[in-house]
């Protein structure tokens, strides 16, 4: 059993002694695993996940009273967890769906009722579910349309295995009632909480990117942005505190931005490789040149840099102001560590406890300004003698350095040329009307292959393919294909922009914006008038084989695809490096999710596709080079 399974099984045992015996038995002598699970249980005895995505990351037993409302977010990471391996005795729904944020490859959606809408995953009450926004180990977040009030909402659904336990269901509803009291610009509004067929919470849907996505895209934030976002977070927390709600686990995303140091990190930075009382020496008199304290503070706090910096280049580590760190105050910690050497000790902050302060302040004697000196205050404390300094994790520094030389513009899907493809079953368009099929792709396999196949249920109608090192755009005219070919050959390697244009009577092919000679006329109208499906990476097998997998698989990468209901190009043009959606767009796939087995239509027309076999790969582009060829 992994940590998640152990955690869930332990929640069902109310007696602490019996729970301990159970864990010792199932952990099989793995002291580290036992410690991690017990830490999760202890840390979350009276807290649950709520406002952060994903829903309910840890849920404790129901020993807390109805009035003990808490408001908490993501639980501490458990690095050895095997997220995809969890199972429970609860019934598992049959319906599943893949998504980019999956813990495993499938998301259970068996609680949804069938819908008559082609762009809906199903119904939950009077909500039409449009897409899966995200998923965590304990819940799923859905984007939905409220048919009664005609607005888009976000729905957080408790995971089926958690919904099978009474304590989890009660905790979920209690947290919803508590959070519904909040009315603030920086807190998501709660619209409703329901319990049938599964506990779910209906709340305000806010489009846009998450802070994590912004950090991944741009690297560490600049100071004005840090201050603006920090103020918004603080204002939202203040609104929660005004309603007697305590947010117990505010912390940064791992390795992505600024945060408070841990106590161990602070002392490491203060000592800067030294072992003396102060980094600058052993005697109290040594402190005069490195820290502001009772003997030299001159009646005020001081800016950094007025005294000597330590070997790490840090000023005012001794004195001036006490500095907050992440750790919770543990009175016995010093004695514990004296007998047990611990690498990077850390005591997670818990509600109701004090937080550690380090370094001393301007009114303290040298004894309280030592590298090892520590004290504690309750977090709400405000004082002219208390401050903080932020740290930037090494991972974020590495990311910033990498981003200065290489930028990941987007992602691509890689097709192996053997059995990888994407199926979009709902794309519809008049066969005889103008259209444009364009893609940004990189060819790897020089064999005959199909990049895009637009067709009916019975046959292919328009095909963008390669053959004998030439690009082709073809249209079926009954018993034969009419095609236009690219005059230039191609080699594996660079990304190229390929556009096939059907004007209603003529096929045109463009490679990197250049019109290829030999465009063909075909005035024959087709008896089948509607396109009904789109295949990416393969060719449909035709009449009698509609359910069979495609053939002529594409080998290479695709990082952009747009289908338009107009002839966008009639002569040469500058090839775009990405695609935008407009009123002429039927479907747009910008491949920007980078994970999951759903290819999302960015045009909002709802033509989402199922990825079968193809894998996501990042597409780095050298800084300053935004040409199609890398």
Cα–Cα distance for residue pair 185/574, rounded to 1 Å = 43
Q: Are 95 and 130 in contact (CB under 8 A)?
A: no
Most confident residue range from 101-105, 141-145, 423-427, 442-446: 141-145
Percent of the chain whose predicted confidence (pLDDT) is above 70: 70
Closest CA to 319 of 284, 354, 273, 272: 284
Per-residue pLDDT of 552-580, as tens digits, reads 899 889 999 999 999 999 999 999 988 98
State residue 352's pLDDT score: 67
- pTM of the entire structure? 0.39
> On the CB side of 588, how many CA atoms lie within 13 Å of its CA?
15
State residue 573's pLDDT score: 92
Given a cut of 60, whether residue 46 has pLDDT beyond it is no
Give 28 or 282, the one with higher predicted confidence: 282
Of all residues in the chain, what percent are helix, strand and coil, respectively (each to 5)? 20, 30, 55
The domains found in the chain, sorted by start residue, are 51-72+88-250 (3.30.200.20), 260-386 (3.90.1580.10), 408-622 (2.60.120.200)
Mean pLDDT in residue range 370-390: 84
Per-residue pLDDT of 101-139, as tens digits, reads 333 445 678 888 888 888 888 999 999 999 988 876 567
Cα–Cα distance for residue pair 454/423, rounded to 1 Å = 11
Q: Are 375 and 263 in contact (CB under 8 A)?
A: no
- Give 209-221 as a 3 state SS string: CCHHHHHHHHCCC
Angle subtended at Cα 587 by Cα 582 and Cα 588, rounded to the nearest 5 degrees = 75
Given a cut of 80, whether residue 316 has pLDDT beyond it is yes
Judged by average pLDDT, the poorest of 121-125, 325-329, 445-449, 584-588 is 445-449
Per-residue pLDDT of 144-170, as tens digits, reads 999 999 999 999 888 877 777 666 777
Q: How confident is the model at residue 143 (pLDDT cuts 50, 70, 90)?
A: very high
State residue 435's pLDDT score: 92
Burial zone of 558 (CB within 10 Å; 0-12 exposed, 13-18 middle, 19+ buried): buried
Q: How confident is the model at residue 198 (pLDDT cuts 50, 70, 90)?
A: confident
Kindly report the average pLDDT of the chain as a whole number. Answer: 75
State residue 334's pLDDT score: 65
Cα–Cα distance for residue pair 471/482, rounded to 1 Å = 14
Percent of the chain whose predicted confidence (pLDDT) is above 90: 21
Given a cut of 50, whether residue 587 has pLDDT beyond it is yes
């Amino acid at each position: 059993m992994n940590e998640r399974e152990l955690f869930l099984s332990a929640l069902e045992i109310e007696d602490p002694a019996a729970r301990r015996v159970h864990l010792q038995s199932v952990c099989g002598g793995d002291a580290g695993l036992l410690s991690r699970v017990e830490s999760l249980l202890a840390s979350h005895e009276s807290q649950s996940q709520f406002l952060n995505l994903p829903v309910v990351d840890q849920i404790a037993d129901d020993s807390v009273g109805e009035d003990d409302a808490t408001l908490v977010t993501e639980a501490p990471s458990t690095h050895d967890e095997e997220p995809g391996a969890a199972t429970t005795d609860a019934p598992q729904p049959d319906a599943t769906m893949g998504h980019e944020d999956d813990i495993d490859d499938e998301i259970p959606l068996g609680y949804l009722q069938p819908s008559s809408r082609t762009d809906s995953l199903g119904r939950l009450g009077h909500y039409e579910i449009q897409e899966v926004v995200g998923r965590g180990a304990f819940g799923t977040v859905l984007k939905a349309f409220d048919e009664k009030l005609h607005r888009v909402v976000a729905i957080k659904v408790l995971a089926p295995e958690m919904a099978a336990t009474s304590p989890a269901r009660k905790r979920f509803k209690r947290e919803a009632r508590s959070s519904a009291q909040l009315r603030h610009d920086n807190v998501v509004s709660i619209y409703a909480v329901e319990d049938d067929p599964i506990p779910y919470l209906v709340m305000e849907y806010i489009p846009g990117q998450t802070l994590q996505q912004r950090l991944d895209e741009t690297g560490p934030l600049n100071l004005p942005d840090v201050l603006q976002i920090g103020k918004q977070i603080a204002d939202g927390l203040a609104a929660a505190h005004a309603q007697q709600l305590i947010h117990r686990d505010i912390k940064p995303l791992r390795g992505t931005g600024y945060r408070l140091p841990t106590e161990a990190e602070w002392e490491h930075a203060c000592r800067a490789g030294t072992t003396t009382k102060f980094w600058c020496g052993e005697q109290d008199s040594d402190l005069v040149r490195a820290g502001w304290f009772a003997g030299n503070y001159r009646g005020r706090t001081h800016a950094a840099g007025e005294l000597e910096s330590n070997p790490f280049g840090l000023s005012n580590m001794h004195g001036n102001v006490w500095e907050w760190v992440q750790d919770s105050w543990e009175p016995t910690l010093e004695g514990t560590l004296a007998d047990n050497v611990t690498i990077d000790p850390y005591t997670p902050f818990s509600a109701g406890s004090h937080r550690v302060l380090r370094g001393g302040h301007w009114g303290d004697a040298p004894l309280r300004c030592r590298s090892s000196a520590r004290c504690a205050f309750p977090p709400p404390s405000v004082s002219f003698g208390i401050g903080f300094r932020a740290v930037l994790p090494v991972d974020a520094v590495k990311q910033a350095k990498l981003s200065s030389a290489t930028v990941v513009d987007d992602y691509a899907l890689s097709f192996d040329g053997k059995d990888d493809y994407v199926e979009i079953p709902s794309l519809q368009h008049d066969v005889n009307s103008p259209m444009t099929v364009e893609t940004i792709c990189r060819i790897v396999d020089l064999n005959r292959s199909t990049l895009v196949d637009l067709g009916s249920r019975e046959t292919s109608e328009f095909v963008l393919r390669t053959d004998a090192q030439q690009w082709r755009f073809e249209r079926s005219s009954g018993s034969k294909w009419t095609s236009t070919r690219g005059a230039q050959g191609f080699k594996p390697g660079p990304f190229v922009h390929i556009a096939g244009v059907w004007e209603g009577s003529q096929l045109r092919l463009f490679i990197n914006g250049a019109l290829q000679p030999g465009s063909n006329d075909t005035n024959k109208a087709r008896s089948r008038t509607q396109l009904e499906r789109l295949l990416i990476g393969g060719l449909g097998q035709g009449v009698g084989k509609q359910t069979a997998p495609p053939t002529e698989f594409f080998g290479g990468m695709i990082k952009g695809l747009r289908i338009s209901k107009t002839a966008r190009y009639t002569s040469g043009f500058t090839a775009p490096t990405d695609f935008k959606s407009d009123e002429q767009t039927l479907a747009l796939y910008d491949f920007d999710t980078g994970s999951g087995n759903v290819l999302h239509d960015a045009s909002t027309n709802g033509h989402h596709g199922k990825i079968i076999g193809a894998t996501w790969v990042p597409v780095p582009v050298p800084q300053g080079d935004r040409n199609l060829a890398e």
